[in-house]
Amino acid sequence: MKKILLIAIVLMAYITNAQIQFTGVVKDSLGNNLEMANVIALDTVTKTISSFGFTDVNGRFKLDLNKNKVFNIKISYVGFKTISEIVRVIDNDIIKNYVMEEDMLNEIKIVSKMPVTVKGDTIIYNADSFTNGTERKLEDVVKKIPGMEINDAGEIEVDGKKVEKVMIDGKDFFDGDTKLATKNIPSNAVDKIQVLRNYGDVNQLKGVQNNEDRVALNIKLKEGKKNFWFGDVTAGAGASPNEGLYLFQPKLFYYTPKYTLNVLGDLNNIGEVVLNRRDVRNFSGGFQSQSPSNGTNLSIADAGIGFLNATSRNANRIETKLSALNFSYSPNKKLDLSGFLIWSSNQNGQRNINILDYINPDIPDDITDNTTDQTSNTGLFKFSSIYKKDINNQMNYDVIGRFSNEFRTDNSSSQVIGNNITENENATPYRINQNLSYFYTVNENNIFALEVQHLLQDEDPFYVASLENDPNSDADGFDDAASILGLDTTVNQYILEQDRSVKSNQLDAKLDYYYIINQKSNLNFVGGALLSKQNFDSRFFQILDPDTGGTLDPDLNIPNLPDARTTNDTEYSFTDLYTGLRYRAKSGIFTFTPGFTLHNYTINNTQIGLTPFEDTFQKFLPELNIVAQFKRSESLTLSYRQQVNFTDVNQIAEGIVASSFNSFFFGNNDILNASTHNVNLNYRSFNLFNYTNVFGRLSYVKTIDQVASVPNFLPGSVVSTRTNLNLPFDTERFSAFGAVSKTFKKIRTRLSGNYTFNKNFQIFGANTNEIRSNVYSLRPGINTNFNKAPNVSVRYSVSFVDQNNLNLTTNSNTQFSTVTHAPSVSFDAYIWNSLTFKTDFTYNEVRQDGKSQNIFKIWDATFAYRKDRDAKWEYELEASNLLGTGSRANVFAGNIVNSINEIFILPRLISFRVRYQL
Q: What is the DSSP string of 499-519?
A: EEEEEEEEEEEEEEEEEEEET
Q: How far is CA 750 from CA 146, 598, 681, 687, in A?
A: 9, 44, 21, 14
> 489, 541, 554: which is closest to 658 by C-alpha?
541
User: In the beta sheet, which residues pair with residue 201?
Assistant: none
Question: What number of other Cβ atoms are within 10 A of residue 451's Cβ?
Answer: 17
Q: How far is CA 224 from CA 166, 189, 227, 230, 812, in A?
A: 21, 8, 8, 9, 71
Question: What number of other Cβ atoms are within 10 A of residue 281's Cβ?
Answer: 20
Query: Who's near 701: CB < 8 A, 6+ residues apart?
Result: 676, 677, 678, 679, 732, 733, 734
As a whole number of angstroms, the distance between CA 879 and CA 38 comes to 44
**Using an 8 Å Cβ cutoff, are 864 and 834 in contact?**
no
**Using an 8 Å Cβ cutoff, are 748 and 783 in contact?**
yes
Residue 12's pLDDT is what? Answer: 42
Residue 819's pLDDT is what? Answer: 92
**Using an 8 Å Cβ cutoff, are 561 and 666 in contact?**
yes
Residue 312's pLDDT is what? Answer: 80
Backbone angles phi, psi at 650, to 5 degrees: -60, -30
> 410, 306, 310, 415: which is closest to 355 by C-alpha?
415
Q: What is the DSSP annotation of 210-258?
A: --TT-EEEEEEEPGGGSSSEEEEEEEEEEE-SSSEEEEEEEEEEEE-SS
pLDDT tens by residue, 735-745: 999 999 988 87
Q: What is the DSSP annotation of 835-855?
A: EEEEEEEEEEEEEETTEEEEE
As a whole number of angstroms, the distance between CA 459 and CA 600 comes to 29
Strands 190-197 and 215-221: antiparallel
Of the CA atoms within 13 Å of residue 251, those in its CB half-sphere come to 21
As a whole number of angstroms, the distance between CA 322 and CA 378 comes to 10
Helix, strand and coil content of the chain, in percent to the nearest 5, comes to 5, 65, 30
Which residue stretches of the chain have pLDDT < 50? 1-17, 108, 110-111, 555-556
As a whole number of angstroms, the distance between CA 738 and CA 755 comes to 9
Sign of the C-alpha dihedral computed for residues 349, 355, 361 and 364 taken in this order: positive
Total length of the chain? 918
Rg of the chain, C-alpha, whole Å: 31
The alpha helices in 298-341, defined as continuous H runs, are none
- Secondary structure class of 484 (helix, strand, coil): helix
The alpha helices in 433-589, defined as continuous H runs, are 479-484
> 542, 546, 538, 512: which is closest to 526 by C-alpha?
512
Q: What is the 3-state secondary structure (H, E, C) of 114-181?
A: CCEEEECCEEEEEHHHHCCCCCCEHHHHHCCCCCEEECCCCCEEECCEECCEEEECCEECCCCCCHHH
